[in-house]
Amino acid sequence: MLLEVLLAMMLFVLSAGVILGAVQASINSVRRIRLQARAANLAVTLLSEIQMGLAERKDEGPTAYEEPLQDWTWQVITEDLTEPADAPPLLRVSVIVENPGEGFSYRLVQLFPDDGPADLSDEDYDEEVPGLEREGRP
């Protein structure tokens, strides 16, 4: 009788340990995925601003984000690519987003033609489109 109780208690403790370990692993995975999603969103946003000409294609940072993202930093690293000689000049732009408190880093890289940012002014988009009403713009 005592042996059966001890065996049942041992099985219960072992199964509880396995379940707690699985729960802890899934909590860590969710935390890591949440960090990765936030970092990817921040990096894509910054790279999109560079593509649109809202941010410059030059080395910057690391710079801290403003509230409520004060735990995150961003950095832009540019590198001229001139090889091979007959290829058009390219600029490699790397956006690095980090959360030093969590020990997490995310890097996004894109190649741009090395002729400077495109000039996208409102004049390029002022054509009238037949049948399209323009709300809020003269």
Each residue of 67-108: pLDDT tens digit? 888 899 999 999 988 777 777 888 899 999 999 998 899 999
- Out of 4-18, 19-33, 110-124, pick the least confident: 110-124
Q: What pLDDT is attached to residue 130? A: 54
Question: Which is nearest to 128 in space by CA: 138, 120, 113, 136?
Answer: 138
CB contact set of 90 (below 8 Å; sequence gap of 6+) = 80, 81, 111, 112, 113, 114
Kindly report the pTM of this predicted structure.
0.67
Asked if 80 and 101 touch (Cβ cutoff 8 Å), the reply is no
Q: What pLDDT is attached to residue 9? A: 93
Q: Is the sign of the CA dihedral 114, 45, 72, 65 positive or negative? A: positive
Beta-bridge mates of residue 97: 74, 106
